[in-house]
Amino acid sequence: MKPRLATAVLLGSLCLPALAQFSTPEAAIKYRQGAFSVMAAHFSRVAMMAQGIQPYDAKAASENAELVGNLSRLPFTAFGPGTDKGTSHRAKDEVWKESAKFKAASDKMVADASKLEAAAKSGDFEALKAAVSTLGRSCKSCHDDFRGARRE
């Protein structure tokens, strides 16, 4: 399967539960966990290049950053009512108690992921490094406020 087709299939399969409005809280939780996991895998590929751990490859950075940008918009539909229970997860109660703050944090992360995508497409390595740092801080901030120990 060609990389672009595989990406389209993956993104399409991740979107299907969102379109169905999630049949159960467990389905929503698994969806958001899957989206975050795939996004983190692609972000780490770009981050390793930005940090000099892996050689910089402009094409690979751009492809992975594009996926991060697309994936960043997916998980937040799966934090609806009732998805604080149902299966093991790490979301803190603050996600639902401080929903405006969580929304602002998620919007910032999506915007920062878009900036990463633009920086990677520009081919400017210094811009890429700065965008990786910005998105990394955005992710850390949200984890600090809204992600805790695994809960059942």
Structure tokens at 90: 């790490």
Is 67 in contact with 42 (CB distance < 8 Å)? yes
CA distance 34 to 27: 10
Nearest to 35 by CA among 75, 83, 89: 75
| H helical segments located in the chain | 3-19, 25-50, 58-71, 94-97, 99-122, 125-146
User: Residues forming the annotated binding site for heme c?
Assistant: 139, 142-143
User: Residues forming the annotated binding site?
Assistant: 139, 142-143
